[in-house]
Amino acid sequence: MLKEIIKRASLGFMIGVFIGETILIFESLLAGNGNFYPISAYLSAHTNTELNAVIIQYFLFGIIGITFAASTVIFELDNWSLLAQTVLHFVITSVVMYISGFLCGWFPHTTRSTILWFVIFIIIYVIMWISFTIYYRKKTESINESLKKQA
């Protein structure tokens, strides 16, 4: 299992950085003024240089990717219920996402914005969970049909 976690974490780091940087490009395009905005004003103000801020955000994107990729092994614990797996995965991913967003200044540091952030995260998490559940249910049905045909 440790070997699988390391494999997923390595790939997750790269995917996390790719997704994070892609989001920054889209956000900069949406600003519509031809400038690239690699970091938030908050992160820029709280680091010595813009380069330090970019490096911090880069690694936080990677850590987010590691978290989402490596934590999927939770769903392979056969002796755990799906509810327990989902709750643990949710707690791990939401905490890492929140801390990363807080450190990068992706949202204001207020109680209201924190609550709103978690509401949005929960909505996105539920949508993704339902989507993956439907996907794997259909995949399971397809495998079962193939097995029935072979029998």
Read off the pLDDT of each residue in 73-98 and give the average, rounded to a whole number.
94
Q: What is the pLDDT of residue 118?
A: 95
Q: What is the pLDDT of residues 93-137, one digit of tens each?
A: 999 999 999 999 888 999 999 999 999 999 999 999 999 999 999
Q: What is the pLDDT of residues 43-63, one digit of tens each?
A: 888 998 999 999 999 999 999
Spatial neighbors of 24 by CB under 8 A, at least 6 apart, are 36, 37, 38
Q: What is the pLDDT of residues 107-116, one digit of tens each?
A: 899 999 999 9
13: nearest Cα among 72, 58, 63, 56: 63
Q: What is the pLDDT of residue 40?
A: 82
Q: Would you call 113 exposed, middle or buried from its count of C-beta atoms within 10 A (0-12, 13-18, 19+)?
A: middle
Which two structure tokens, joined as six digits, stand for 150? 């072979």
Which two structure tokens, joined as six digits, stand for 102? 């807080």
Give the whole-angstrom CA distance, residue 53 versus residue 103: 10
